[in-house]
Structure 1
């Protein structure tokens, strides 16, 4: 396949580059020593949902100004229709926009709301839900978190136990979610709940609800990860009233809505650019006077780096293929799972390559005085979660086997 830009795409790429140079706020600088979210679309040193409420006024104002600049163009949610605050861009134009933002190392805005919930509402939401929720996302005024995983129901998501019982025009929700990325900073949550405990198959009794994060009965507790950061939380629901109008799709059919959301989650370009930049920085360092002493220790390191470079190009092509399917009018399916699986395992391989390059120095956690400011030490900790974020490798392989290869489920 030929992924070269058309003349129109090349012109749009230049437009994006000029926009970033001219409109990215000077005060919004990366925080290099802070641990960031684990989401693939995040840029090192930035975490927009956190930055927009930061104590540092320069960082907070910069994050909000950047959101306003993007919203003027409809570029927070560029693929959405203009009536909801998007720009009506094609899937390929959206891909170019995010690719150039990642290459410029400036953050996207409203990640989970813009990349997951918004496209899901466009497919499954009512007109009222679209009108109520899409414009605030597209303006950077409301942030969202995904409430799917539970204690004991991570990989086996269909076994979830959070209950919702119909009571007139409301559902009464009780249960717990865990590992909710940035849930402590969210204004809204999209949550899977069980509405039919007697369904013949577990996934047939699940419903998809939109819940305000500050609703009475919702308790959010941050969780500290292996790095000492707090990128996610656990959420408790105790008698939370949720209007039936906040149900997306039919009752007991929320599983299929959720699969759409997860398909959008697995289709991004962000990880590819991050890995490409990290590997380029490793090579540059190993060629420097300070880095040559590490390069000499491993004669096979050159071949290993070459393999990582090849794999990154494969991942890029997988992302381009996935977006080409979207451009043709298809929702991401098993192709997006291939992308997710390959990217997650590549993240871990790349982290191990960096660790091997630095030998015992790869154990240094403090950035000051460490080779490359301990970038690959931190990457190795980050990568531990890669193979279960957005669906474990086992789940991805099952999706690829059953939907892509038409293999039997048992």
Structure 2
């Protein structure tokens, strides 16, 4: 297929590049010593939800200025209508905006609230909920985290056990969520709770709630990952009183709201560009005098072919992302294609990390960034990539979806 820009798209791409060059705050510099969270749209050295509350005044001010510049264009929520703080961009123009921001190495703003919760509230929220939550998301003033997974309820989400019992004009919520990405930086959570334990089918007794993290009875604790970073958290509810007005959709129908929410997941361009930039940096480094000092002696025997395979796979991933967004632009809802994208991206992440580490042989065991080849970026990426094949749905679940929905194979 031909993915070349139309003249209008090429003009918009040029506008985005000019905007970034002119408006990105020069004091908002990347912190390359910091670990990243695990989201595909993360940019090396930035974590906007954390940066906005940074103890470093220049980082906090830079994050604020960047959010303000994007707000003025409606580009925190570019696909939203203008009356809700967006820019009314088409799906393809949204894709171009995301692509150019990633290529420029500048962070997105708004995160999961902008691309996932916002559209969910537009579809299922009350007028009061829209007035309360959409404007702060569009201005980068309120960040969100997703409280779905629980201990023992990840891929089998319908088995969740966090309970909510109606008590007058509120629900009393008790239970635990886990692996809540950026939970320690969130102002609000959207969570799934069980409101009908006796439901004939488990997914029919679930309700979707919005939770202010300052609510008494809500406790958020960071989880330290294999790299020593804390990109996610566990959340505890102990008789947390959540107003009924914070329920999205009907009681016991939250499963269907959640499935709609997950359909708003991104097309995956962020991962493609991250991997491409990492590989280009690797190739450039090993060609340098410094890089040759660290190069594994037998790299030339098969290493070049391995790097070439990684590059080819990245072009495949790019085309998968473009296919997904093209289907959306045509008014279709991507089905199994999203699972193909997720699975291929996750496994490519791991293959790329292994390739980068093998290039440097024993030097890839250096964890400290100072005096390590390429600042130990691939050593850290190997740790980052361990979780890739179960974040956002395990590889086994994705293969089942592809087999049954894509290939029409029987379930048993």
TM-score tier (shorter): over 0.9
1:291 Cα deviation (Å)? Answer: 2.2
Is the Cα–Cα contact under 8 Å of residues 188 and 212 in structure 1 kept in the other structure? yes
Measured in 1, the distance between the counterparts of 2:269 and 2:261 equals 16
Q: RMSD between aligned alpha carbons?
A: 1.4
Measured in 2, the distance between the counterparts of 1:260 and 1:388 equals 21
Q: Which residue of 2 aligns with 1:273?
A: 273
Q: Which residue of 1 aligns with 2:376?
A: 374
Measured in 2, the distance between the counterparts of 1:62 and 1:232 equals 24
SS in structure 1 at match of 2:275: helix
Is the Cα–Cα contact under 8 Å of residues 265 and 390 in structure 1 kept in the other structure? no
Q: CA, structure 1 residues 159+342, in 2 after alignment: closer, same or farther (shift >3 Å)?
A: same
State yes or no: 1:351 paired with 2:353. Answer: yes
Q: Which residue of 1 aligns with 2:182?
A: 182
Q: Which residue of 1 aligns with 2:308?
A: 306
What does the per-residue CA deviation read over 1:310-361, in whole Å, with 9 as the maximum and x for residues that have no partner? 1101111111111112112233432212111110111000000001111111
Q: Give 5+ residue unaligned stretches, structure 2.
A: none
Is the Cα–Cα contact under 8 Å of residues 40 and 271 in structure 2 kept in the other structure? yes
Measured in 1, the distance between the counterparts of 2:29 and 2:224 equals 25
Measured in 1, the distance between the counterparts of 2:405 and 2:142 equals 35
1:171 Cα deviation (Å)? Answer: 1.6
Q: Which residue of 1 aligns with 2:62?
A: 62
1:295 Cα deviation (Å)? Answer: 5.8
Measured in 1, the distance between the counterparts of 2:146 and 2:96 equals 26
Q: Which residue of 2 aligns with 1:403?
A: 405
Q: Which residue of 1 aligns with 2:298?
A: 297
1:117 Cα deviation (Å)? Answer: 1.0
Is the Cα–Cα contact under 8 Å of residues 115 and 266 in structure 2 kept in the other structure? no
SS in structure 2 at match of 1:264: coil
Q: CA, structure 1 residues 399+207, in 2 after alignment: closer, same or farther (shift >3 Å)?
A: farther
SS in structure 2 at match of 1:300: helix
Q: Which residue of 2 aligns with 1:30?
A: 30
What does the per-residue CA deviation read over 1:139-163, in whole Å, with 9 as the maximum and x for residues that have no partner? 0000000001111111221111001
Measured in 1, the distance between the counterparts of 2:402 and 2:199 equals 26
Using the size of structure 2 for normalisation, the TM-score is: 0.97
Q: CA, structure 1 residues 40+68, in 2 after alignment: closer, same or farther (shift >3 Å)?
A: same
Measured in 2, the distance between the counterparts of 1:246 and 1:409 equals 38
Using the size of structure 1 for normalisation, the TM-score is: 0.97
Q: Give 5+ residue unaligned stretches, structure 1.
A: none
May I ask how many residue pairs the two structures share in their alignment? 410
Is the Cα–Cα contact under 8 Å of residues 115 and 264 in structure 2 kept in the other structure? yes
